[in-house]
């Protein structure tokens, strides 16, 4: 509770050894400042050596999918970057709420995407804020507004992903059915345009989980196929000549149990979160808590973008080297 008296804002002058009184502030003015000022701005160009960010989202990829399958490319990203296999999605552990939370920097309670039935004109909980795209602001919209000249792209294997972002923010948004073709289209675009920000969504692992179970050999084979596609994405980055300035982040929307997901179990809510590139600490296991909505906040931090006040996510600072090492 605010005290019913004015507060004085002061600062200590170390060189002179005394306190300067700057100004007085009333409780009402202080309350208004806290409500409307939004979060403290991130340092501009937080990691100046990063010019490109690639997010690879693998639908239904559980931590065990990496632990038990043969995934040389993911293993190399883990070895040369920072990771946690204990990041958490949101409830319910369904695709739409979790993909939305990942790119919207907030949870279903804020953005209102509570199920796969959600549409921009069909929802049970209204968003607490609406951005320029007519929906809760995503990292795509924030990037477009604050870095308007950026090349931004999204290639998604699951058709439902495209409705979760501002359609006018990316230069291209394409639903490419089939993970192999999605990888081919995304890598071709990366080589041609070298986008500052690209999101690539693969859906096959989730299909294998639903069809055969999240602990079946078919599931792990699907993970291995996706790992090879991730390898193709990494090759395209190298072939484009921008590997030294590109950061790659691999994560998922949810895991699974039996042949399904959506429930409240650790198998369903825990997801991998792997980041690799300039400024990232090599070989670090992230011990700090990581939530899926921290992904958007981390991308904003990397690019030095100011996050919307309605976001609750925080950048995963433990993944990075000290500031003097990354500038």
CATH number at residue 63: 3.40.720.10
Residue 2, pLDDT above cutoff 50: no
Whether residue 98 lies inside any domain: the answer is: yes
Whether residue 176 lies inside any domain: the answer is: yes
Answer for the pair 48, 302: CB distance below 8 angstroms, yes or no.
no
pLDDT band at residue 322 using 50, 70 and 90 as cut-offs: confident
**Domain tally, the chain:** 2
Whether residue 136 lies inside any domain: the answer is: yes
Model confidence pLDDT, tens digit, residues 190-200: 999 999 999 99
134 with 18, same domain?
no
Q: What global pTM score does this model have?
A: 0.86
Model confidence pLDDT, tens digit, residues 204-249: 999 999 999 999 999 999 999 999 999 999 999 999 999 999 999 9
Model confidence pLDDT, tens digit, residues 25-70: 333 333 333 333 344 344 456 899 999 999 999 999 999 999 999 9
More confident residue, 38 or 103: 103
In total, the chain counts a number of residues equal to: 327
Answer for the pair 209, 178: CB distance below 8 angstroms, yes or no.
no
258 with 322, same domain?
yes
Model confidence pLDDT, tens digit, residues 247-303: 999 999 999 999 999 999 999 999 999 999 999 999 999 999 999 999 999 999 999
Over residues 150-161, mean pLDDT: 97
242 with 146, same domain?
yes
**Res 69: pLDDT:** 98
62 with 29, same domain?
no
Whether residue 116 lies inside any domain: the answer is: yes
146 with 66, same domain?
yes
HEC string for the chain: CCCCCCEEEEEEECCCCEEEEEEEECHHHHHHHHHHCCCCCCCCCCCCCCCEEEEEEECCCCHHHHHHCCCHHHHHHHHHCEEEEEEECCCCCCHHHHHHHHHHCCCHHHHCCCCCCCECCECCCCCCCCCCCCCCCCHHHHHHHHCCCCCEEEEECCHHHHHHCCCCCCCEEEECCCHHHHHHHHHHHHHHHCCCEEEEEECHHHHHHHHHCCCCHHHHHHHHHHHHHHHHHHHHHHHCCCHHHEEEEEECCCCCECCECCCCCHHHHEEEEEEECCCECCCEECCCCCECCHHHHHHHHHHCCCCCCCCCCCCCHHHECCHHHHC
Answer for the pair 208, 219: CB distance below 8 angstroms, yes or no.
yes
**Res 150: pLDDT:** 98
Q: Quick count: other Cβ atoms within 10 Å of Cβ 86?
A: 17
Domain that holds residue 161: 52-326
Q: How far is CA 198 from the centre of its chain?
A: 12
Q: Quick count: other Cβ atoms within 10 Å of Cβ 268?
A: 24
Whether residue 128 lies inside any domain: the answer is: yes
pLDDT band at residue 325 using 50, 70 and 90 as cut-offs: very low
pLDDT band at residue 6 using 50, 70 and 90 as cut-offs: very low
Apex CA 173: angle with CA 165 and CA 198, to 5°?
Answer: 85
81 with 16, same domain?
no
Across the chain, mean pLDDT equals 88
**Res 46: pLDDT:** 83
109 with 15, same domain?
no
């Amino acid at each position: 509770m605010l005290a019913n008296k004015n507060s004085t804002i002061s600062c200590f002058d170390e060189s002179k050894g005394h306190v300067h009184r700057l100004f007085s502030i009333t409780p009402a003015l202080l309350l208004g400042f806290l409500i409307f000022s939004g979060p403290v701005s991130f340092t501009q160009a937080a990691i100046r050596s990063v010019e490109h960010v690639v997010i690879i989202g693998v639908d239904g990829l559980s931590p065990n999918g990496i632990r038990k399958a043969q995934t040389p490319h993911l293993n190399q990203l883990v070895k040369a970057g920072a990771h946690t296999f204990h990041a958490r999605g949101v409830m319910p552990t369904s695709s739409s709420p979790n993909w939305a939370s990942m790119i919207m920097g907030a949870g279903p309670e804020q953005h209102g995407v509570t199920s796969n039935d959600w549409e921009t004109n069909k929802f049970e909980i209204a968003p607490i804020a609406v951005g320029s795209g007519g929906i809760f602001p995503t990292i795509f919209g924030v990037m477009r507004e604050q870095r308007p000249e950026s090349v931004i792209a999204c290639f998604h294997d699951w058709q439902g992903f495209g409705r979760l972002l501002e359609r006018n923010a990316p230069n291209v948004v394409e639903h490419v059915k089939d993970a192999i073709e999605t990888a081919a289209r995304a890598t071709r675009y990366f080589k041609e345009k070298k986008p500052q920000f690209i999101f690539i969504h693969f859906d096959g692992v989730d299909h294998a989980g639903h069809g055969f179970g999240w602990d079946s050999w078919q599931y792990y084979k699907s993970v291995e196929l996706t790992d090879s596609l991730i390898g193709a994405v990494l090759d395209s980055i190298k072939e484009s000549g921008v590997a030294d300035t590109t950061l790659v982040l691999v994560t998922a929307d949810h895991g699974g149990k039996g042949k399904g997901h959506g429930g409240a179990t650790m198998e369903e809510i825990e997801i991998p979160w792997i980041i690799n590139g300039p400024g990232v600490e090599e070989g670090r296991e992230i011990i700090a808590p990581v939530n899926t909505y921290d992904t958007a906040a981390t991308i904003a931090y990397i690019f030095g973008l100011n996050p919307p006040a309605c976001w609750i996510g925080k950048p995963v600072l433990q993944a990075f080297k000290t500031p003097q090492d990354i500038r």
